[in-house]
Amino acid sequence: MSLTPETRARIEQILAAHHVVLFMKGSPNAPQCGFSAKAAGILNGLVDAYGHVDVLSDPEIREGIKLYGQWPTIPQLYVAGELLGGSDIIEQMLNSGELHEALGLAAPDRTPPAIEVTPAAAEAIGRALANAEDGVVLHLSVDPRFNARFELKPASGHEVVAEAGGLRFHLDLASVPRARGLRIDWVEDARGAGLAIHNPNAPAPVKSMSVQQLHDHVIAGTIDVIDVRPAHARAFAPFPHPHEVLDEESRERLEALPKDLPLAFLCHHGNSSRQAAEYFRGLGFHDLYNVEGGIDAWSEQIDPSVPRY
């Protein structure tokens, strides 16, 4: 397979339009594979905006970019028209400081994060380390959704090392700001025993909101409502107050809203709206509500003129 002149011209036009371009699966706020999520998570922590192309929605570019840069996998990061590499190379360049230099940024802050480890957790982790192979160290990573992961593997030499509870945690640079203030505990309950991690940087959980509370907030103008129902359901039983609609056309605009904006998600009964709210929580929004009972409860308890279905 060869790269057609038309596809080459399209790629070069994209590269000319953006200093930084990530060819990926999905979008930075909704990556569709783990490798794309890693690459986008790194860039999101370094720059406010960058060009991106969803190769899943453009098969021509998906195959063409592999031929253009002679790189067989996705994602691919280009800076100033030059291919830097895929997710593993992006991570390596981040930890070495080369990515900051390529992006024209100041050298990375390597101040170790303050981490709290309870004695019980330190003892449990210490027992695991006692059986580790020679040459491996304890790595701690925190992904863009603030999920923490421990791993035993050799040190690369570029990690940031944080000491707590008599333990040494090796962190990649992307994880450092997400791990500041992390508290690691060991809990035993009816579900069993294991580590419990509290991260103060993670967005607050989605909160429940009754239809009466929604009514009061709507009247006061203190919340934005997002209706996640399909078009036919919205047409049959419309929410009778100003609101936003979540669909493919509006998704990107809504994802760019201020992260501290109070948002209430509404659906038929409150199930798909909670899923949508959790998705926005993963994007960093931290004042989110799920309307329990959905439009059905609204019709039953607040406004009977709204048809039930």
- Which residues are known catalytic residues? 267
| β-bridge mates for residue 196, sequence order | 185
- Measured CA to CA in angstroms, residue 87 lies from 23, 42, 72, 147 at distances of 11, 9, 13, 18
Q: Where are the beta strands (DSSP E) in 159-305?
A: 160-164, 167-171, 183-189, 192-198, 207-209, 224-227, 244-245, 263-266, 288-291
Q: Output the CA torsion sign for 88, 146, 95, 37.
A: positive
Q: What is the CA radius of gyration of the chain?
A: 23
Q: What is the DSSP letter of 241?
A: S
Pairing assessment for the beta strands 167-171 and 160-164 based on DSSP bridges: antiparallel
Give 298-301 contacts, CB < 8 A, sequence gap 24+: 298/211, 298/214, 298/215, 298/239, 298/266, 299/237, 301/211, 301/212
Pairing assessment for the beta strands 244-245 and 288-291 based on DSSP bridges: unpaired
Distance between CA atoms of residues 272 and 194, nearest Å: 31
| Cβ contact 186:120 at 8 Å | yes
| Cβ contact 299:306 at 8 Å | yes
